[in-house]
Amino acid sequence: MGIHTYKAASVLKETGMMVESNVRGFKVIADEPKALGGTNMGISPVEGLLCALGACQCMTARFFAMLLKIDLTQYQVDIEGDVDARGFLNADSGIRPGFQEIRLTVHVKANAPAEKIAELLALVESRCPVGETVFNGVPVVVRHIQ
């Protein structure tokens, strides 16, 4: 119940943009659409980040709904995020390469009093692990092996 270290490994395929990641035996393909030089065999990494965030919000809602004994009948999160490609292409642009803003629209239906649903939504906002990570940022340590 203390600290757990999650692990993944991502390998760039021989040509093109395709990347295969492995997590506990699961294989995840990332790619870019053809317009961006890929072969469109999977979602792109920035989309992967949005999915991870949306999924984490949903699971966090399930967990705390069980704890609060709320009968959750719908929980859907629509996620969108803005990236300005000029930040990626040109360091002098002064534009950040990453997301500028992420917006979540949460559709929730539950058989529970309004104040209990409000309590649930507040818990999801403050406790969602991926949400808290992307909102506050996290130290990233990089090591190179050549």
Binders of its own copies among residues 74 to 113 (CB under 8 A) are 74-89, 91, 96-109
Q: How far is the CB of 94 from its own copies (least distance, A)?
A: 13
The number of residues that bind its own copies (CB under 8 A) is 102
Longest C-alpha distance within the chain, in Å? 58
Please, are residues 77 and 54 in contact by the beta-carbon 8 Å criterion?
Answer: yes
128 binds its own copies (CB under 8 A): yes
Nearer to its own copies, 48 or 68 (CB): 48
Nearer to its own copies, 68 or 97 (CB): 97
Among 44, 68, 116, 119, binds its own copies (CB under 8 A): 44
Among 34, 47, 69, 119, binds its own copies (CB under 8 A): 47
134 binds its own copies (CB under 8 A): yes
Segment holding 136, helix H or strand E: helix 129-136
Please, are residues 70 and 61 in contact by the beta-carbon 8 Å criterion?
Answer: no
- Residue 73's region, left for phi above 0, alpha for psi from -120 to 50, else beta, is alpha
